[in-house]
Structure 1
């Protein structure tokens, strides 16, 4: 069953990319190089994007690469050299492992439902709307959203940032293209070159534990604890991601879908009914 699941995901990605007939959307051709993690021991190369399981995968890669100390925060700069592919490989080596099918390497991409990922970014980085404005040297993550608040804010001031304001800031950030967006909500199709890198396995956060358990057994990875999942909230206490969009305007939802539609298409995520309704109500099409 699991082998079939991965085969179907891989086939769908290949089919969708072929359907572009040589005119792949510009954003799908981009690469965020430090999104690729690597384990030399297992010849394992994975592209993982912020708010798409990055903390968990970085923890696993550190273990796969022999790091045995307690890991409180896997994004520490001092740990990058132990797992970031561009730190472990030369530029030419990384290129070959990303693109050459004859290379002996397992290529994996980790993805998440785009609108669920936005909720995760909001609840984490914007503290679910109850934000203490950071100092000026850390303001860049929030300045677009705070600029849409319609009033000046000062460092260390406590402010309430509605989800709708956050979503409007995401749309505004995208005006110059995905490359200008913060990595925590930049489309992962703009980070991992999914139509250029021949990924062997597509792991989804929605089926993460099952997917990971299969890979661990298939590849003989001994260092991974399959039950480890960082930043995992209790489903019984957390509202579903759809609940966050209940009062969001059709224009905002349609604008968001235009940004993330390739993430939906390439990885087989079903477009929610509320998004279809928004597209219909605004006269937009799913193209």
Structure 2
């Protein structure tokens, strides 16, 4: 069969029309996809991580969820936050399954009834920053609490004498089953950090930046000075190790300063299903996203005080000590003391996914102590 020129032109025209129409439909689908604020897979992921429950187990209608992630403006950073939550919780679960000897520790949980908020805190892990947040959430923050040395003292006294005792009442003397039920049915969270940097932060805050006779941490400072003749970083680490070896089991410590407690031992992570695990290394993002998701107004009214200050109070220590980084201070430890420290902190390192090599290799050639 032969086609005339006109028929060929008509066929080509029809084919071009089909191609154009197909491309138009595809482009419209892409525009529609780009206009979706939260993809369905992210919604499903958020429900899974944050525990959003459907009113009907048979329904897959997004409108059936009691709290819909579509109502939350989750940015790219908060999407990563949700992914990190899944990884952190799975890491804790894997640790607990592999290390049953750490499955029943203590938990020191603060509970704020008006916000249904449960917080398990660690010393030297954003506890000062979060205490200020709690004060403002309770409506107790005064205008004169500007960020300076005197206001920090006022906030410290308020949290120690009023806030913490009040928030501990709900959980004090309660068994782990009561606490677990509370954690499961509240906006519960805990903050962790690299355990080695936590020891360095303790040294900088309680030794280098504090007057010798200042009340906070005074007894420990005087005991270290009496025992080792100085307040060096090595002396502090030796003191911490001796305290933990003498006064701690795998599950608890008796008569040990709160700053020395390993993190795994303070919050019973194997039995307490915290809704959020924040990390100090991503604290600003984590607090922002948790507040956005839970609709809680965290204002970050006080910057984390563990950041190095430009000046330090004189303790008769070498000027270079304060300027040393975390890595430099850890590398200054004798090899055997450093290895003892890593062994003591291994549960924290494993449970929260930290590596000692972040700051110093275990085969470092530093001299051993005498």
Common fold, TM-score beyond 0.5? Answer: yes
More relative contact order, 1 or 2 (CA 8 Å, 6+ apart): 1
Identify the range of structure 1 (84-93 vs 41-50) with the bigger mean alpha-carbon deviation.
84-93
8 Å contact 2:110–2:119 — kept in the other structure? yes
- Identify if the C-alpha distance between structure 1 residues 208 and 145 changes in structure 2 by more than 3 Å, giving closer, same or farther: same
- Partners of 1:143 and 1:117 lie apart in 2 by 21
Which structure: larger Rg? 2
1:268 equivalenced with 2:353 (yes/no): yes
Pick aligned residue for 2:329 from 244, 248, 270: 244
Corresponding position of 2:127: 54
Corresponding position of 2:152: 72
- Identify if the C-alpha distance between structure 1 residues 220 and 242 changes in structure 2 by more than 3 Å, giving closer, same or farther: same
Corresponding position of 1:277: 363
Structure 1 unaligned blocks of 5 or more: 151-159, 283-287
Q: How does 1:106-185 map to 2 (within 5 A)?
A: 106-127=187-208, 132-134=211-213, 139-150=218-229, 160-178=230-248, 179=253, 180-185=255-260
8 Å contact 1:170–1:181 — kept in the other structure? no
8 Å contact 1:97–1:105 — kept in the other structure? no
Deviation at 1:38?
2.3
Which one has a larger percent helix, Structure 1 or Structure 2? 2
- Partners of 1:247 and 1:147 lie apart in 2 by 22
- Identify if the C-alpha distance between structure 1 residues 235 and 149 changes in structure 2 by more than 3 Å, giving closer, same or farther: closer
CA RMSD of aligned residues (A): 3.2
Corresponding position of 1:285: none
1:206 equivalenced with 2:281 (yes/no): yes
Q: TM-score, normalised by structure 1?
A: 0.79
Corresponding position of 1:5: 84
- Identify if the C-alpha distance between structure 1 residues 235 and 209 changes in structure 2 by more than 3 Å, giving closer, same or farther: farther
- Partners of 2:218 and 2:182 lie apart in 1 by 42
- Identify if the C-alpha distance between structure 1 residues 48 and 90 changes in structure 2 by more than 3 Å, giving closer, same or farther: closer
Deviation at 1:65?
2.1
Aligned pairs, number: 263
Corresponding position of 2:46: none
8 Å contact 2:203–2:236 — kept in the other structure? yes
Deviation at 1:84?
4.9
1:24 aligned counterpart, secondary structure:
helix
1:218-252 Cα deviation digits (max 9, x unpaired): 11012x21463231425999543111122211111
8 Å contact 1:50–1:183 — kept in the other structure? yes
Identify the range of structure 1 (58-67 vs 109-118) with the bigger mean alpha-carbon deviation.
58-67
- Identify if the C-alpha distance between structure 1 residues 88 and 243 changes in structure 2 by more than 3 Å, giving closer, same or farther: same
Structure 2 unaligned blocks of 5 or more: 1-79, 146-150, 311-321
Q: TM-score, normalised by structure 2?
A: 0.62
- Partners of 1:208 and 1:138 lie apart in 2 by 25
